[in-house]
Chain A
Amino acid sequence: MSGETAITVSATVNGRRQTFTCEARETLADALRRRCQVRGVHLGCEHGVCGACTIRFDGVTARSCLMFAPQADGAEIVTVEGLADGDELHPLQEAFSRHHALQCGFCTPGFLMVAQELLAEGGPLTEEVVREAISGNICRCTGYHNIVEAILAVADARSGEAEK
């Protein structure tokens, strides 16, 4: 039970600088939820399999349950709370709702973070590519069908715009 000294961590979370103290052993997911009040980071397994705690960490997706909070010192973090532009939903958020790609919504933040990264990479998306890309995230409600449709719909809309 040694070494429970508090550590001060300072990170940018959804564009805002946040400084908090925590125990070294606190996962980044717990710290984001409890110290930074970003409750869209969900804990479905705490061992890195379900993907519900996925965030963007220094530009790329990461599972926040697989990092300790002190590792975030100086980091740039975006969570699902950082996707929408004010009251305007991100196109993926809008599409998830329109296509009924969420039911309980507990896994949804993780799917949105992964889908957002997939779209940002800009490659051509097929159903197969989307399924592969989201296969690290578990949804127990939707059977994935509408999640795939929602992501493809946003991709299609984007490629439609690009052609204009």
Chain B
Amino acid sequence: MKAAAFRYHRATSLDDALAVMADDDEEVRALAGGQSLVPLMAMRLSRPEVLVDLNGVDALAGVALDGGHLRIGAMTRQRDVERSPLVAEHLPLLRTAIGHIGHVTIRHRGTIGGSVAHADPAAELPAAVVALGAEMVLASTGGTRVVPAEEFFDSYLVTAVEPGELLVEVRFPLGAVPARHGMAEFTRRAGDFAVAGAIVLADVAADLTVRRARVVPMAVDPAPRRSARAEELLVGRALDDGVIREVAAAVAAGCGPVDDIHGSAAYRRDLVAEMTRRALARLRQGAGE
């Protein structure tokens, strides 16, 4: 398990990185935390000719409040996001979600941008950024563009990032999504990828009436997507057990899981309903008080 040969480029700045990324004669890949890419390279399932190491580009790391957004640089370590007071205050879901990623040692190196760009539908961060209505800032030598999270993920490990482009920042609009969150996932072992999971956000009134809601199932679709039907079922209704059951069923009915060694599609469908139920129950805890 030794990676195929590649040329290593330690980027000194974003412009430097983008200049190398712009080379369309060679297959270029950006190296962020490496927690997913390096194993793929060791197995020779990924074999870039040039590897652009972003770990030296300090400008790509950091959490900042900027007007109506919380901006997180793509190279910000997951552990730093998890421990950021700004994130704790404004994006508690993000903190919860990162707590489910692998293990602390993985989160020390793993970055928010790396995980989002890797786009594993069983991973926590892609689902979380969809739930949070985040915007992906993509840069290239031609300039930058912003892609909403909901348009960012195409399918398994495939995103809107074009050759030559780099995800440089994840921008979270504040107040644009509901404040309360609930999350649940089922894993075979502690720290494993989810067999199925769910993230829910909702604003809930004192009488438990849901004002706004966002529901994102995990590991049951080729890419993380909101469940529009589930959200419709929530809004305007009191978050009681019956509604929760209905919503869970709608999530299960609307997703497209596939069989794998950890569970059949049918099982995953049942599991995602249960995870939705649990996520909503967690969200409800303490609501309406």
Contact = CB atoms under 8 A, between A and B. Distances in A.
Q: Consider the complex of A and B and state whether they touch directly, i.e. have CB atoms less than 8 Å apart.
A: yes
A47 interface: yes
Interface string B3-43: 11111101000000000000000000001001100110111
A65 B109 CA distance: 12
Contact of B105 (A68, A70, A71, A114): A114
Interface in B221-237: none
B145 interface: no
B106 to A, nearest CB: 7
Contact of B51 (A24, A30, A46): A24
A114 B108 CA distance: 12
B49 interface: yes
Interface residues of A, number: 34
A40 interface: no
A154 interface: no
Interface stretch (A2-10, A84-92, A95-103, A156-164): A2-10
Contacts, number: 98
Contact of B191 (A65, A70, A71, A135): A135
B90 to A, nearest CB: 25
A112 to B, nearest CB: 13
Contacts of A1: 5
Contacts of A135: 103, 189-191
Interface in A1-59: 1-5, 7, 23-25, 27, 30, 46-48, 51, 54, 57
Interface string B96-115: 00000011111011000000
Contact of A71 (B35, B43, B55): B55
8 contacts: A25-B5, A27-B38, A66-B109, A70-B53, A71-B10, A71-B34, A73-B10, A135-B191
